[in-house]
Chain A
Amino acid sequence: MASLLGRFCRKLVVPGSAHGSRMTSTTACGSETVKSLNLYSAINQALHIALETDPRSYVFGEDVGFGGVFRCTTGLAERFGKNRVFNTPLCEQGIVGFGIGLAAMGNRAVVEIQFADYIYPAFDQIVNEAAKFRYRSGNQFNCGGLTIRAPYGAVGHGGHYHSQSPEAFFCHVPGIKVVIPRSPREAKGLLLSSIRDPNPVVFFEPKWLYRQAVEEVPEHDYMIPLSQAEVIREGSDITLVGWGAQLTVMEQACLDAEKEGISCELIDLKTLLPWDKETVEASVKKTGRLLISHEAPITGGFGAEISATILERCFLKLEAPVSRVCGLDTPFPLVFEPFYMPTKNKASSSSSLSSPSKNTHFLIHGFSRLL
């Protein structure tokens, strides 16, 4: 019953989407009240709960007071007061620096950076202060109560400075965590986990899904564990790994591949740092093939880390080189966005598909369409 409900609990309003062959539900949504919510509403709910359950928690950033440019902070200032939910001056290094100070005093600071594209002035604070706060003090101090939220990713018309996926920069910083949800229900649970995690977390929200994705989201207070990847679709021929909005694309690709007789296993990484190698490794040992997909430019993208690690651990089980289908090595273009994006129909020129095995024919053919 639970698994049946689990299958139908999740609904993505994306043209042509259908439920996967099996959905692993991480929440018992059958027994709790659920409500159909989009991504920004789910995040809003999480923030309401976070502020409600901890009186020493704060939400702030540019334009947060009136509800935020993406409406994620709607109603918070009215409900919890301007001392706890407030606008800040236009200065990311100040916003994050101020948040670190609050967190260092034992508060929870949920900081909003208006677009991930603007996070760079705060990079120094994140890398040199937040990430090292506990370590350098010998655990006398920490700023674990800090969570930095930022909308990331393509939105259809964002161009250079409203579309970036900067997760790779942050995955290179020991001391912080990087979390990216794929859907409203995931976002609420992961955000609450991030806020309550005793380490500073950078939480990227796929802005394309703020209104686009609608899902049944439980109304209660629940958390989804960090550093645990989820197999959201089981398969036997190839493993696909992704995060955030890209999973919607990959899910579509899996459905198309199924028609060709290719059984795909799809994994949502959820937490990129520290990432769940065990789940991906187990899957690749089963399927023998790995394909990683992300919007961020391919060179130096997080897919490279996954590829290198899986190669080390699964070399003898691999039937083909690891494949990455990602954004191009250009600044994110406006008019050319449809060509830039790693869409499901993108031709893969990866040589990983040409390896002798009984399914080679299907795989080469399938994957040139798959990606």
Chain B
Amino acid sequence: MRLAISATTYRMVLLLRDSHQIQSLVIVTPWWIRSQVLVHTKTPIVMDFPGGKVAFTPEIHFISESNEERVPCYRVLDDNGQQLTNSQFVPVSKEIAVKMYSDMVTLQMMDNIFYEAQRQGRLSFYATAFGEEAINIASAAALSPDDVIFPQYREPGVLLWRGFTLQEFANQCFGNKSDYGKGRQMPVHYGSNKLNYFTVSATIAYSLLTQLLPNAVGAAYSLKMDEKDACAVTFFGDGGSSEGDFHAALNFAAVMEAPVLFICRNNGWAISTPTSDQFRSDGVVVKGRAYGIRSIRVDGNDALAMYSAVHEAREMAIREHRPILIEALTYRVGHHSTSDDSTRYRSADEIEWWNKARNPLSRFRTWVESNGWWSDEAESDLRSKIKKEMLEAIRVAEKTEKPNLNHMFSDVYDVPPLNLREQELLVRQAIKSHPQDYPSDVPL
């Protein structure tokens, strides 16, 4: 590029040169022209644009729809539970490790027994977390009790870790009067304000999965404004990441600089829909960058990796007031719920393979045992203890009476308005005249 310039411009050009924008500078000054400067620009001149400087390019180039290589997955333990030689991870004490493993076993057994209870007709519904025990427990272990949880519905392990008892789980599933939810929702819709675990929303039958995500962002903002040493944490699946609320939440979290962890349980299936029918991106982790969010992909069946990732993410979220996206790769070993038979859309071999080859419990157990912290005896002791507790919890929950009828009308508002008080009277009149048409186990 040739320019005829004045002395002032020449000085500006020198400045540009010094800023390394210009590759070479040749000054030609024939006597009849002031100065002639040959300017070869190295990089195109940048321009200020809303949001920052943007370089121009003369090439027509589309960003590829995907990276050549998929985002790598962070893991600490191999498939057999052996610690990888150059793995980085946050050390876990014996106490924590043993509690983690025990809770994973408890979760698995609880799921088994409740599932069977549903099959026997004693429960109306259940959804297991088979295959995702490490995500459940390890993430909970890495958080503090003050971190507020906005769950989806496959994370009861977080409640378990925090101290929710088997009896409390059973009470909710049986919808008895000791259920904190007062019998209003289907089984597995747990909630505990004492344990900072917001009540599960979204009936599983519908595809509304991620409404709690934007709520988590608001809660995180509140924690930031109150200067709490805590973050909000929210869970969702691969299917959930297609919902509008996911995108709304991530964008808001980034703009509001909210300390929230978005933990995606990418377990390969949204009921019968495989991830290939769910999105065409490299999973969920790449979506973080689109919103300006730091992200990581983790082996969800590796308890140590999950623990470390969540631990680090939490630190960053609180210290730097930023959201973090964690995509935990895992597999939904169980059916979507008791209303589903997944062998109708996937092979039993596939399920079996994941259950054996990448089982989160066996991998972690190997590691815990390798430290001398666990044994076969401890295992069988634990299992028989849990079984006994579970069966007792179910027995008690089943026998406990249902919540009183007036709980159908309370809590719609803080105080029942007149129309609800009238409706309660009408319902009670109807029951009085035709008691045989109504369930007898709901106390009046």
Contacts and interface: CB of A to CB of B under 8 A. Distances in A.
Interface of A: 56, 83-84, 88-89, 91, 93-94, 96-107, 109, 121, 124-125, 128-129, 132, 134-142, 144, 174-175, 177, 198-199, 227, 274, 277-278
Contact of B222 (A96, A101, A121, A137): A101
B256 interface: yes
A302 B182 CA distance: 32
A128 B211 contact: yes
Contacts of B214: 93-94, 96-98, 100-101, 125
A97 B218 contact: yes
A124 B46 CA distance: 44
Interface residues of B, number: 49
Contact of B244 (A93, A99, A137, A140): A93
Contacts of B248: 89, 91, 93-94, 97
24 contacts: A83-B225, A88-B255, A91-B251, A97-B213, A97-B248, A98-B214, A98-B217, A100-B215, A101-B214, A101-B216, A101-B217, A101-B232, A103-B218, A121-B244, A124-B208, A124-B245, A128-B201, A134-B412, A134-B414, A135-B411, A139-B411, A144-B414, A174-B412, A274-B417
A274 B418 CA distance: 8
B305 interface: no
Listed residue (A89, A105, A142) with the most chain B CB atoms within 10 angstroms of its CB: A105
B199 interface: yes
Closest 3 CB pairs of A and B: A101-B218, A97-B214, A94-B248
Nearest to B181: A138
Nearest to B213: A97
B219 A104 contact: yes
A102 B220 CA distance: 8
B51 to A, nearest CB: 14
B88 interface: no
Contacts, number: 149
B218 A128 contact: no
Given A100-B218, A102-B218, A227 B417 contact: yes
Interface in B177-205: 179-182, 184-185, 189, 191-193, 198-199, 201-202
B182 A91 contact: no
Nearest to B217: A98
A107 B222 contact: yes
B164 interface: no
Given A88-B255, A101-B220, A104-B218, A199 B414 contact: yes
Given A105-B222, A124-B208, A274-B419, A137 B180 contact: yes
A362 B268 CA distance: 73
Contacts of A93: 214, 244-245, 248
B222 A124 contact: no
A199 B413 contact: yes
Contacts of A106: 222
Interface string B211-240: 111111111111101100000100000000
A142 B414 contact: yes
A135 B185 CA distance: 9
A84 B226 CA distance: 12
Interface string B403-443: 00000001111100111000000000000000000000000
Contacts of A96: 214
B222 A102 contact: yes
Contact of A135 (B218, B232, B412, B417): B412
Contact of A99 (B218, B412, B414): B218
B50 to A, nearest CB: 14
A128 B189 contact: no
